[in-house]
Amino acid sequence: MIAYLDNGATTQPFASVREVMLKTLEEDFGNPSSLHTKGVEAEKYVKEAKEQIAKSLKADPKEIVFTSGGTESNNMALIGGALANQRAGKHIITTGIEHASVHNPLIFLEAMGFEVTYLPVDAKGHIRLPELLETIREDTILVSIMYVNNEIGAVMDIEAIGKAIKEKKPDIVFHVDAIQAYGKYRIYPKRLNIDLLSVSGHKIHGPKGIGFLYIRDKVKIKPIIYGGEQQKGMRSGTENVPGIAGLSQAVKEIYDNHEEKIKGLYELKKYFIEEIEKLPGTTVNGIQGLSIEQTAPHIISVSFEGVRSEVLLHALADKAIYVSSGSACSSSHPAISGTLRGIGVKKELLDSTLRFSLSVLTTKEELDLALEALEELLPILRRYTRH
């Protein structure tokens, strides 16, 4: 038996996702821009997917643009949004704990002459709303804030933030990275005052290499990919029909019986935290003073005193238990997490933290396997740690 507890990095595609993708590869393989029957068959998948996704957001299908995934969606939102609105100003606001796919495009924009303000967070990973409002200026054009933090599962109060931003300066473009939130929450952008929303398929049991950007009608944004004018010129390139079909099916399945799925996730999270806190020298990050339901249902950050995270990660992997030492998107470039620093994790624990992330396919047996392994490994590894 394996325990796959790295669902924040990627999820196993649903069986129904694999089936519909196989059909588009074997039978309905046409180019959706072609005028013949095979092209029309392929175009139908694209059209139906936009409708399925729009329904989940209570949005209009024309507000959905397919991308290659969350990173491209974030780049498109930030770079495209900034370039389209730069005549109104060059000031952007974000937080100090954003994912690299938000942080790095902003560094690029800074090099182009934009000014970025990075808001700090408290010990729970939340920004302070008054501080955000004080930071908004006459030349502020864009605010980008993640819905769920990918490392500690902190949940921003997007509804309050969106309302406050629009009351202070209605023409600000509000972007939300919902890559770890979509599929875990019901997100209705218009109700939340969200203008741009980034989503990735492989975080919700869809395929890799596909995602979408919600662009609220009449919001100005420039394309960052040019070519054959597909998707009304917003994102040129032949549409990834197998990916789009798979994403559509994943959206349909993840939101079917959704409340029951999320209730089950919270029950597993609560059980795992209660059990892991019984192990000596463990600290669960970002939950102090919060109920479990005030955090994301699938992400658990744990620091293990006296053990390096990389060592523990590989020791667990040897037992077929798979976890992460942070964001898998940058795991090939190990660095101390800005998120952990941002919430005030003790210096000696910064390099001793693992992320356990669950999905709707996770079982209690997998959690028990991980807990048993940790109980066995921690004393051994601590014995051999240099002091």
| Look-up of token digits 């490392």 | 151
Choosing from 83, 136, 329, 381, which is the catalytic residue? Answer: 329
CA–CA dist 62, 214 (Å, integer):
9
Would you state the structure tokens that stand for residue 141, as one six-digit string?
């054009």
At position 66, the amino acid (one-letter code) is F
329 carries an active-site annotation: yes
| Beta-bridge partner residues of 64 | 214
CA–CA dist 378, 21 (Å, integer):
42
CA–CA dist 194, 159 (Å, integer):
9
Cβ(162)–Cβ(188) below 8 Å: no
Integer-rounded Cα radius of gyration of the chain: 21
| Look-up of token digits 């100003």 | 89
Would you state the structure tokens that stand for residue 324, as one six-digit string?
């992460």
- Counting every residue written for the chain, the total comes to 387
Cβ(70)–Cβ(198) below 8 Å: yes
Would you state the structure tokens that stand for residue 356, as one six-digit string?
């356990």
Cβ(209)–Cβ(242) below 8 Å: no
At position 106, the amino acid (one-letter code) is L
Give the sheet arrangement for strand 211-215, strand by strand: 64-67, 211-215, 196-200, 173-177, 140-144, 91-95, 115-119
Cβ(325)–Cβ(5) below 8 Å: no
Most distant CA pair in the chain, distance: 70
Q: Which of 16, 59, 56, 111 is nearest to 361 (CA)?
A: 16
CA–CA dist 173, 171 (Å, integer):
6
CA–CA dist 282, 354 (Å, integer):
11
Q: Which residues contact 366 (CB under 8 A, 6 or more apart)?
A: 1, 2, 3, 4, 5
Annotated catalytic residues are 329
